[in-house]
Structure 1
Amino acid sequence: MTMTTNSKNTILLLVTALFLLLGACSNNGEDTGHEGGNDQEMKEEMDGMDHDDMNHSSSGEVPEGLKEAANPTYPVGSKAIIQDDHMKGMKGAEASISGAYETVVYTVTYTPTTGGEKVKDHKWVIHEEIAGYGEEPYTSGDEVVLDADHMEGMKDATATVESAEETTVYMVDFTPVTGGEEVKNHKWVTESELSPAE
């Protein structure tokens, strides 16, 4: 009788564990839009996760040939408030300026070299992060090869330039407003995406 009770308890535990495992898989599918979601939901999820996969921090190294800004609005060491939300927890965070550079910034659309969905309107890639760049800036519709590695599968990917703007770009340190570790040397934030810290 004892053996039968123990056997029943073991089977019950195994079945419960199996249901929990299947439930977790099912929930994961719903969250990503890959299970039971329509194509539009999946597209929105993929667009939405664009910058969440970024390498938030960097070594602080910048591409060769990138010129420091002579008189930036936000000098190195000053504070500013980030007004854009490239990544979760970024908008509203106080940033410490760790670099200021004059260049052309691009939004680009590309398919990662690691496979997966196309990344649309990625902000930002700078002129000096495009393989074989020359003096002249690229324009909307140009096809380029990326030399940046902000995200997995970005480096060496073929991209289409969606927009181009000559401006000051900043490398910044900030702590996400959602909590977590400080992000060091984040690339890039444009001048229009910052406001003075009070």
Structure 2
Amino acid sequence: MRKRLMTTIAAGVLGGALVLTGCSTGGDQGHQGHKGGSSASAPASSDGGMDHSSMEHPMDGGPAPAGIEEATSPKYPVGTKVTLTADHMEGMDGAKATIVGAFDTYTYAVNFTPTTGGAPVKDHKWVVQQEIKDAGTKRLPDGTEVTLEAEHMEGMKGAKATIAFSTDQTVYMVDYEAGGMKMTNHKWVVESEIKPAS
């Protein structure tokens, strides 16, 4: 009886560990900073064929990084109600959102291996120029190896990464609600991932 109980407990612990680490196998994360105190388990879509079903994301992404320039005439000004078309996290595509920041910068999808271990993350959307160590002001070419300063997920800050591709579209921070959870200061969605609220 004791042996069966210990086996059941061990299996439960192992299963829990697999659930917690399953989201670090690559693909697209929700892009929250880790400044907020509370977090929510929000499944992410499989962008690039990877599963992030259990990634922990803070519900508050925190402020925009220092040095980022506010957009002078964004298509969606701060306060605009919009509909998201991005699928960075479960429930994001089609969610109603409010623009809380609009910025002009270069925005990158990156491939990296978390500093906490685990499998590589592919095409993480998005990291802005100001979240890359010593990035300077010029657009970084695809394939450039960089060090991340963003904290969108555990193990991201300090990770070595490679630029997969980039855009100079206006990039936005948004507040939105999905699956009963309110996400604030979500980083990031680019202009092509937003449409006017219906």
Q: Could you tell me the TM-score, scaled by structure 2's length?
A: 0.77
**2:39 aligns to what?**
none
**1:113 aligns to what?**
115
**2:132 aligns to what?**
130
Structure whose CA Rg is larger: 1
Instruction: Give CA deviations for 1:169-196 in whole Å, capped at 9, x if unaligned.
Output: 11000001xx222001100011000010
Mapped to 1, the partners of 2:134 and 2:20 lie a distance apart of 36
Conservation of the 8 A alpha-carbon contact between 2:20 and 2:54 = no
Where structure 2 has 5 or more consecutive residues not aligned to the other structure, the ranges are 28-45
Q: Could you tell me the TM-score, scaled by structure 1's length?
A: 0.77
The letter for the 2-side match of 1:58 is G
Where structure 1 has 5 or more consecutive residues not aligned to the other structure, the ranges are 1-10, 35-41
Residue 67 of structure 1 deviates from its aligned partner by: 0.5
Aligned residue-pair number: 176
Greater helix proportion: 1
Q: Describe the SS at the equivalent of 1:144.
A: strand
Structure-to-structure mapping, 1:26-175, within 5 angstroms: 47-49=50-52, 52-59=55-62, 61-175=63-177
The letter for the 2-side match of 1:108 is V
Instruction: Give CA deviations for 1:63-97 in whole Å, capped at 9, x if unaligned.
Output: 22111011111110111101011011111110011
Residues 168 and 43 (structure 1), Cα distance of their counterparts in 2 relative to 1, 3 Å cut: closer
Residue 121 of structure 1 deviates from its aligned partner by: 0.7
Mapped to 2, the partners of 1:33 and 1:182 lie a distance apart of 24
**2:37 aligns to what?**
none
